[in-house]
Amino acid sequence: MNRYTDLIQQTFDFPTKEFHVENNELFFNGVNLMEIIQTYGTPLKLTYLPKISESIQNAKTYFNNAIQTHNYKGKYTYCYCTKSSHFSFVLNEALKNDIHIETSSTFDIPLVRSLYAEGKITKDTFIICNGFKRELYKQYISELLNDGFKNCVPILDNLSEIDYYLEHVKVPFQVGIRIAADEEPKFGFYTSRLGVRYNDIISLYEEKIKDNPQVSLKMLHFFINSGIKDTAYYWSELTRFIQKYVDLKKVAPSLDTMDIGGGWPIKTNVFFDYDYQYMADQIVKNIKWMCAKNHTDEPNIFTEFGSYTVGESGAVLYSILDEKLQNDKELWYMIDGSFITQLPDSWGLNQKYIMLAVNNWDEEYHNISLGGLTCDSMDYYNSEAHQFNIYLPKIEQGKKQYIGFFHTGAYQESLGGYGGIQHCLIPAPKHVLIDRDETGSIVHKLFAKDQTEESMLKTLGYSPVEK
């Protein structure tokens, strides 16, 4: 008999740090998922909070190891990229780890205010303000600065942005400049739409910052969409960025920080192979070498990790409602949710996640496709990242089959329009938070109930009707 457990163990180096099986049931970071399902039902989103702290501490260790190995003079600072998940439980967990914050849009600033009011951050916390900014965003940033948030650093995205701050900020303040990096060759555009082009950076500094006692240049910012990967493209762009830093440092003595952005990958399949320590070593080594070559002081290093911070903490659990044989050859398992509304990256970007059966690991397996509940023909999931098929246990009469998608914690709620109107009025599922108490025992609680028909009708402008 070809059992599902045999397939997984033959295909992967299994069990892994995150996954193991007991009594034919899957455990995720030591959490018995069947117990969670029996308590809350499906569809269900969950967040395993300790994973957030673990990821942050790992990154700090990698970079601090690299700094020590290479006798690097600058310091490392970890910022969390809030746009990957704005939820309070994410920020509350992340901020336990002495980190700072990167923002991307207007309403991030009220979020910062709320965290300060709750004592989660101080006015010394770095608030790195990215993005092309509409006037209200610039207003909120200016108000932060005027209220004493001295480490709020607006990152200039164009040549005129600084004019607003010079007019409205009444205290000395710091700024950064984002470089418009070249995109990966396969991208639709040559240069990023965000940031200031290389040739304009020094003139921007000399014309609007250099001789103004009100403002100083703190950092040079860098980000590429492909993320931090061991590729010729990444190292070429990073080298170009470092060279611009040392050139700018010659005329801007206040410049002391290099922000290399985000983009550390997360595990999207069980075959994942990425050497974080090696990459941290190489980044630090390259910066140190080029600074020494150009007789430049080694800068402080900031990163803005979003998906890396929160991605591996998330999972989505589904029930298989039924199976359908189409065209006598295509077998479908229909889930009790939707990929388009609940895992939108799987639809919009063809993103693959770790997908595993939650139960029935001792059953035979077969090749299937997974279908969601909306009417959209693209609401499906039919292959894994490591292969072109999906295999799951056969559904035996009288047995229920559950499946899980893992490392889904970044971006999916915001892209899916959490709390709003979903395609075909598919409701947002329950969301459960899982933590460990002071003894290390697993505890869990409901963060959000299933979205209700009443909330949807209200959003759509309908009056409630008595049944």
- Nearest-5° angle of CA 216, CA 221, CA 226? 175
**1-15 pLDDT, tens digit each:** 689 999 999 888 899
Among 459, 371, 389, smallest CA distance to 418 is for 459
- Residue of 331, 422, 328 whose CA lies nearest to 370: 331
- To which residue do tokens 């995205």 refer? 157
Over residues 303-316, the mean pLDDT reads 97
47-91, pLDDT tens digit by residue? Answer: 999 999 999 999 999 999 999 999 999 999 999 999 999 999 999
Give the span between the Cα atoms of 400 and 382, in whole angstroms: 21
Q: How far apart are CA 451 and CA 445, in angstroms?
A: 17
Contact 86, 409 (CB under 8 A): no
* C-alpha distance from residue 252 to each of 217, 220, 294, 431 (Å): 7, 11, 15, 48
Report whether pLDDT(418) > 80: yes
> How much is the mean pLDDT over the chain?
93
What per-residue confidence (pLDDT) applies to 186? 61
The fourth-level CATH superfamily of domain 72-305 is Alanine racemase (3.20.20.10)
Among 24-28, 158-162, 229-233, name the one with the lowest average pLDDT.
Answer: 229-233
Q: What is the pLDDT of residue 385?
A: 63
Q: Are 353 and 408 in contact (CB under 8 A)?
A: yes
Specify whether the CB–CB gap between 86 and 106 falls below 8 A. Answer: no
State the Cα–Cα distance between residues 6 and 24, nearest whole angstrom.
12
Q: What is the dihedral of CA 113, 118, 123, 127, to 10 degrees?
A: -50
pLDDT at residue number 2: 86
Distance separating alpha carbons of residues 77 and 64, to the nearest angstrom: 10
CATH code for 4-49+311-460? 2.40.37.10
Structural domain boundaries of the chain?
Answer: 4-49+311-460, 72-305
- Provide CB contacts within 8 A for 369, sequence distance 6+: 330, 331, 332, 333, 380, 381, 382, 390
What is the distance of C-alpha 115 from the center of its chain?
A: 20
**pLDDT band, residue 146 (cuts 50/70/90):** very high
Percent of the chain scoring above 70 in pLDDT: 97
Amino acid residing at 21? V
Give per-residue pLDDT as tens, 186-220. Answer: 655 556 678 899 899 999 999 999 999 999 999 99
Does residue 377 register a pLDDT over 80?
yes
Structure tokens at 325: 């044989």
Which alpha helices (H) appear in 344-411, and where do they start and end? 344-348
pLDDT at 207: 96
What's the pLDDT tens digit per position in 88-109?
999 999 999 999 999 999 999 9
Q: How far apart are CA 196 and CA 206, in angstroms?
A: 14
User: What pLDDT was estimated at residue 116?
Assistant: 98
- Categorise residue 51: left if φ over 0, alpha if ψ from -120 to 50, beta otherwise: alpha
Chain segment 383-397, per-residue pLDDT in tens? 776 677 899 999 988
Q: At which residue do the structure tokens 């910022």 appear?
A: 79
State the average pLDDT over residues 370-375: 94
Q: Is the pLDDT of residue 445 over 90?
A: yes
Q: For residues 115 and 144, what is the distance between their CA atoms, to the nearest angstrom?
A: 13
In this structure, the chain runs to a length of 467
Indicate if the pLDDT at residue 466 is higher than 80.
no
Pick from 8, 20, 37, 12: nearest CA to 363: 8
Per-residue pLDDT at 185 exceeds 70:
no
| 430-57-111 Cα angle (round to 5) | 50
The answer to whether the 4-49+311-460 and 72-305 domains have the same CATH topology is: no
What does the pLDDT read at residue 269?
85
Roughly how many angstroms between the first and final C-alpha of the chain, as a whole number? 52
Contacts 24+ apart (CB under 8 A), 181-190: 181/222, 181/223, 181/224, 181/237, 181/240, 181/241, 182/237, 183/224, 183/225, 184/224, 184/225, 184/226, 184/233, 185/233, 187/225
